[in-house]
Amino acid sequence: MDLFRQPLKPINLGLESFRESIAAQGVEVVAVDWRPPLEGYVELTHTRAGVDIDAANAEAVRRICAGQPLLVDMGIAREVIPGFAPAGKARMLITHSGPPITWERMCGPTRGAIIGALIYEGLAETPEAAAALAASGEIEFAPCHHYNAVGPMAGIISPSMPVFIVRNETTGHQAYATQNEGLGRVLRYGAYGPEVIRRLKWMETVLYPSLKAALAVSGPIDLRSMIAQALHMGDECHNRNKAGTSLFIRAIAPALAEAVRDPTVVAAVLRFLDSNDHFFLNLSMPAMKAMLLPAENIPGCTIVTTMARNGTDWGIRVSATGDRWFTAPAPMVQGLWLPGYTAADANPDIGDSAITETGGIGGFALAAAPAIVKFVGGTPADALNATLEMYEITAGEHTAFTIPGLNFRGTPVGVDVRKVMRTGITPRLNTGIAHREPGVGMVGAGLVQAPQGCFAAAFAALRSL
- Member of 209, 234, 331, 453 binding a copy of itself (CB under 8 A): 234
- Member of 35, 91, 271, 324 binding a copy of itself (CB under 8 A): 271
Return the number of the residue (4 or 408) whose C-beta is nearest a copy of itself.
408
- Member of 264, 339, 344, 464 binding a copy of itself (CB under 8 A): 264
Residue 148's φ and ψ, nearest 5 degrees, are: 55, 30
Return the number of the residue (215 or 273) whose C-beta is nearest a copy of itself.
273
Those residues with Cβ within 8 angstroms of residue 310's Cβ, 6 or more apart along the chain or in another chain: 96, 97, 98, 99, 101, 106, 107, 110, 143, 330, 350
Return the number of the residue (85 or 253) whose C-beta is nearest a copy of itself.
253
Q: Does 219 bind a copy of itself (CB under 8 A)?
A: no
Q: Which stretch binds a copy of itself (CB under 8 A): 47-55, 125-133, 259-267, 451-459?
A: 259-267
Return the number of the residue (172 or 404) whose C-beta is nearest a copy of itself.
404
Q: How big is the site for a copy of itself, counted in residues (CB under 8 A)?
A: 39
Q: Does 249 bind a copy of itself (CB under 8 A)?
A: yes
- Member of 71, 207, 251, 291 binding a copy of itself (CB under 8 A): 251
- Member of 255, 281, 301, 421 binding a copy of itself (CB under 8 A): 255
Cα 301 to chain center, whole Å?
A: 21
Q: Does 336 bind a copy of itself (CB under 8 A)?
A: no
Q: Does 233 bind a copy of itself (CB under 8 A)?
A: yes
Q: Which stretch binds a copy of itself (CB under 8 A): 266-274, 351-359, 421-429, 434-442?
A: 266-274
The CB-of-212 to a copy of itself minimum distance in angstroms stands at: 17
The CB-of-266 to a copy of itself minimum distance in angstroms stands at: 4
Binding to a copy of itself in span 357-416, by CB under 8 A: 370-371, 373, 379-381, 404-408
Cα 350 to chain center, whole Å?
A: 9
Return the number of the residue (16 or 258) whose C-beta is nearest a copy of itself.
258
Return the number of the residue (311 or 370) whose C-beta is nearest a copy of itself.
370
- Member of 185, 242, 398, 436 binding a copy of itself (CB under 8 A): 242
Those residues with Cβ within 8 angstroms of residue 129's Cβ, 6 or more apart along the chain or in another chain: none
Return the number of the residue (240 or 428) whose C-beta is nearest a copy of itself.
240
- Member of 83, 184, 254, 322 binding a copy of itself (CB under 8 A): 254
Q: Does 246 bind a copy of itself (CB under 8 A)?
A: yes
- Member of 31, 51, 123, 253 binding a copy of itself (CB under 8 A): 253
The CB-of-257 to a copy of itself minimum distance in angstroms stands at: 4
The CB-of-241 to a copy of itself minimum distance in angstroms stands at: 11
Q: Does 129 bind a copy of itself (CB under 8 A)?
A: no
Residues that bind a copy of itself (CB under 8 A): 229, 232-235, 242-243, 246-247, 249-251, 253-258, 261, 263-264, 266-268, 270-271, 273-274, 370-371, 373, 379-381, 404-408
